[in-house]
Amino acid sequence: MTQPLGASSLTTSPQPPALRGPSARRPRRRRPVLVALALLVLGIAFGAAAFGSLIFPDAMTQDILASQLPPGSPGHPLGTDELGRDVLQMSVAGARSALLGPVIVALGSMACGVVLGTLAGYQRGWIDFAVSRWTDLLLALPVLLAAIVVSGVFGGGYWVTVVLLIVLFSPSDIRIVRAGVLEQSARPYIEAAQMLSLSRWRVMFRHILPNVTSLVVTNAMLNVAFALVAFSSLSFLGVGVSPGIADWGRQLTDGRAIMFVNPAAVFMPALLIVVVAVAANLVGDWIGQRLSRVGEDVR
Q: Which stretch binds other proteins (CB under 8 A): 6-14, 39-47, 221-229, 268-276?
A: 6-14
CB under 8 A: which stretch of 2-10, 34-42, 123-131, 142-150 binds other proteins? 2-10
- Number of chain positions touching other proteins (CB under 8 A): 39
By CB under 8 A, tell whether 142 contacts other proteins. no
Q: Which stretch binds other proteins (CB under 8 A): 47-55, 232-240, 266-274, 289-297?
A: 289-297
Q: Does 124 help bind other proteins (rule: CB under 8 A)? A: no
Q: Is 254 helix (H, G, I), strand (E, B) or coil?
A: helix
- Rounded to whole angstroms, the Cα distance separating 62 from 120 reads 53
For 62, counting Cβ atoms within 10 Å of its Cβ (0-12 exposed, 13-18 middle, 19+ buried), the class is middle
Binding mask 152-191 for other proteins (x = CB under 8 A): -----------------------------------xxx-x
Positions 15 through 34 that interact with other proteins (CB under 8 A)? 15-16, 21-22, 25-26
Provide the minimum distance between the beta carbon of 12 and other proteins in the complex, in angstroms, as a whole number. 4
DSSP 79-127: -B-TTS-BHHHHHHHHHHHHHHHHHHHHHHHHHHHHHHHHHHHHH-HHH
Q: Which amino acid, residue 252? A: L
Helix (H) or strand (E) holding 8: helix 3-8
| Of 10, 54, 145, 153, the one binding other proteins by CB under 8 A | 10
* Nearer to other proteins among residue 143 and residue 216 (C-beta): 216
Phi, psi at 194, each rounded to 5°:
-65, -35
Distance (Å) of CA 213 to CA 190, 267, 290, 293: 16, 37, 11, 11
Q: Indicate whether 55 belongs to the interface with other proteins (CB under 8 A).
A: no
DSSP track, 185-239: HTSHHHHHHHHTT--HHHIIIIIIHHHHHHHHHHHHHHHHHHHHHHHHHHHHHTS
Q: Which range of residues in 4-12, 58-66, 107-115, 216-224 is near other proteins by CB under 8 A?
A: 4-12
Which of 4, 57, 142, 243 touches other proteins by CB under 8 A?
A: 4
Residues 212-251 interacting with other proteins (rule: CB under 8 A): 213
Minimum CB–partner distance for residue 185 and other proteins (Å):
12
User: How far apart, in whole angstroms, are the C-alpha atoms of residue 199 and residue 76?
Assistant: 63
List of residues contacting other proteins (CB under 8 A)? 1, 4-16, 21-22, 25-26, 187-189, 191-198, 207, 210-211, 213, 294-299
